[in-house]
Amino acid sequence: MLFRRSGKHVLVSGEHSPGSEKLRPKRGKLSPKPGGLCRNPGKLRPKRGSRSPGSGNLRRKPGSLCPRRGKHRPKSGNLSLSSGEVSLSSGNVPPAKGKVFELAENNSMTMIKKYLLVTIGFYCTCFFLHAQADDTKRNGGYVWPADTLVKNKLEHWEDQKFGMIIHWGLYSVPGIIESWELCSEPWIERDSSVSYCDFKRWYWGLKKDFNPVKFNPEQWAQAAKDAGMRYLVFTTKHHDGFCMFDTKQTDFKISNGPFASNPKADVAKYVFDAFRQKGFMIGAYFSKPDWHSQDFWWSKYATPDRNVNYDIRKYPWKWNRFKQFTYNQISELMHNYGSIDILWLDGGWVRPLETVNEEVRSWGAAIPPWSQDIDMPHIASMARQAQPGILIVDRTVHGPYENYQTPEQRIPETKLDFPWESCMTLGNNWGYVPGDPLKSSAKIIHALIEVVAKGGSLLLGVGPRPDGTLDSLQVQRLKEIGVWLRTNGQAIYNTRTTEIFQDGETFFTQSKDGKTCYAIVRIPENSKLPSSLTWRGNLPEKGTKIKLINSNISVKWGRYNDKITVYLPVSVTKSKKDYPALTFSLVPERGTGMNVSDNKSACIAVNCKEEQ
């Protein structure tokens, strides 16, 4: 078959997969062919801006939402214009004059006052907006939810730390990048001997071949559990529009092809059930863009990029139909699939035009002049009515419908003080691509440690095979991760950050009650354990018990000025080969610690210079 994977003809998503955040396909593999569809052969990496969600210094300062306002706001009754000619201070009474003169003066005073009031109003508004914009920059545009049920769920979600995102859809059949080959943007590679139209025809036709007779969601859930994962996000519909749930809005769905007569044809239901049974929080991935829908990509026009391909201003009725379709599909998910904790909405370019900012522009994708406003308030209110407290993650559209932020394939440089999650692939791809090299378990464990110390959660991506099973290599890798988490998990799950969250390869977390501080030291892959480890920051008080938690033994330690050194017993250094990270719990003698709400470490130093 023409498009069957042949390694060099298919596009695989790389370390920076395309989409909401970045536009880069996999490095190296994409050598374009002359005459191919890629209009920009030498330039497969569209420019990325430096500002992407959750990155850098987007920290919220607790309790200081509008810090600059007070500084700039003029005090009433005490405002002098720059020249000092006109001043409006409380004691500034005009001198008595003749009547006419008085009237004229009154009039001109009134005008001056009016002028001043308007000017003051104008400047106040500017200062206010400026302060607001500043705050938005500082907190990454994050808006804290007001609904108590949402707050509680968010807190509960923040305890889980490690989740699985499953990409499974039509693209799994040939084993190519998820949906993106359908899109005609210049960075996308395809077999150049086939026309775009033929390609699309072939892709839509894959529905005839998708018959996952070995569909085994219990195996997926078990693998996730074994990995130590605690929440799930499953692709109910990706950008290609193929539904992995039994929607009534379209026939383009798994429950309509060769799999229709299978008792588990309503795939999403069985995936959710299997994970729910193992105590996972349940998330539904749903793509706002739908490239199969005639109300999104209208075949009357070409489809040059990811956006709606007709002018919504000219055809509002068509866009309204798409909005209704989207609303109905999400409503089905919210009403017919049991309890759902997270509605994870992908395709951040489908958003109101006024929310398009530098961050969105930095993705390098085309931005049409019309608004692709899907009406989130309407969707969210329906979702919350059906699923009280559900977390809504309208990715990259920072604001009230993004209960946590989702940096993709990367970890923010610093700790962020609002809820966030890094989504990352176990291989190079979100979906199943045969032969896709997997990251080592140490690499994933190292990422998890860093993410958690910086206040986030890790959502790890796997892609089941077209027959419905998870590849044994993926299962194996997940097991290895779980082995580490089973003994070290107390420093990960249910923890909160400490003010000092990292020193080199040492990362810190603390228990929610602030009584125990954890130092997790990442050990480089393929290296032996050293006989001692040293770090700066979060130095323990005298009398603190430091335990190596994988062996449950107290270790000797000494404090030298601003550093601490812990000594590993020979029994440990000898027995632990290729150990990804050592975790120490630090419990102060008096066991008091600090309250987490102080957002400081439980083991901030007091003057203790002695060695133990």
Q: Which residues bind ligand GLC (CB under 6 A)?
A: 17-20, 167, 178, 346, 408, 423, 430
Task: Using the minimum distance from each CB to ligand GLC, give the nearer residue, 19 or 174.
Answer: 19
Q: How far is the CB of 391 from ligand GLC (least distance, A)?
A: 16
CB of 425 to ligand GLC, least distance (A): 8
Q: 438 or 546, CB closer to ligand GLC?
A: 438
Torsion of CA 151, 157, 161, 166, to 10 degrees: -130
Nearer CB in complex with ligand GLC: 20/387: 20
Q: How far is the CB of 45 from ligand GLC (least distance, A)?
A: 15
3-state helix, strand, coil in the chain (%, to 5): 30, 15, 55
Widest pairwise Cα distance in the chain:
102
Rounded to the nearest whole angstrom, what is the least distance from the CB of residue 293 to ligand GLC in the complex? 17
Residue number, 16 or 318, with CB nearest to ligand GLC: 16
Containing 138, the helix (H) or strand (E) segment is helix 99-138
In this structure, what are the phi and psi dihedrals at residue 157, rounded to the nearest 5 degrees? -65, -40
Q: How far is the CB of 610 from ligand GLC (least distance, A)?
A: 50
Q: How far is the CB of 50 from ligand GLC (least distance, A)?
A: 19
How far is 329 from 223, CA to CA, in rounded Å? 29
Nearer to ligand GLC, 466 or 588 (CB): 466
- Are 454 and 416 spatial neighbours (Cβ–Cβ below 8 Å)? yes
Q: Which residues contact 484 (CB under 8 A, 6 or more apart)?
A: 228, 441, 445, 580, 581
Q: Distance between alpha carbon 208 and the CA centroid of its chain, in Å?
A: 34
Q: Distance (Å, rounded) from C-alpha 29 to C-alpha 345?
A: 29
Q: Return the DSSP state at 17.
A: -
Q: Which residue lies nearest ligand GLC, judged by its C-beta? A: 19
Cβ partners under 8 Å of residue 403, min gap 6: 145, 150, 154, 391, 392, 393, 419
Taking the complex as a whole, how short is the minimal distance between the CB of residue 283 and ligand GLC, in angstroms?
A: 12
**Quick one: 128 or 204, whose CB is closer to ligand GLC?**
204
Q: For residues 18 and 145, which CB has a smaller minimum distance to ligand GLC in the complex? A: 18
| Dist CA 381 CA 540 (whole Å) | 48
- Amino acid letter, residue 354: E
DSSP-derived secondary structure letter, 97: -
* Two structure tokens written together for 103: 């009237």
- Minimum distance from residue 364 beta carbon to ligand GLC (Å): 13
Q: Is 561 left (phi over 0), alpha (psi -120 to 50) or beta?
A: left
Q: Please, which residue, 59 or 410, has the CB nearer to ligand GLC? A: 410
Q: Which is nearer to ligand GLC, 408 or 417 (CB)?
A: 408
- Residue 589 · residue 541 · CB < 8 Å: yes
Long-range contact list for 527-530, CB < 8 A, 24+ apart? 528/573, 528/577, 529/568, 529/572, 529/573, 529/576, 529/579, 529/582, 530/568, 530/573
Nearer to ligand GLC, 158 or 408 (CB): 408
CB 56 to ligand GLC: min, Å = 20
Q: Give me the least distance between CB of 43 and ligand GLC, in Å please.
A: 19
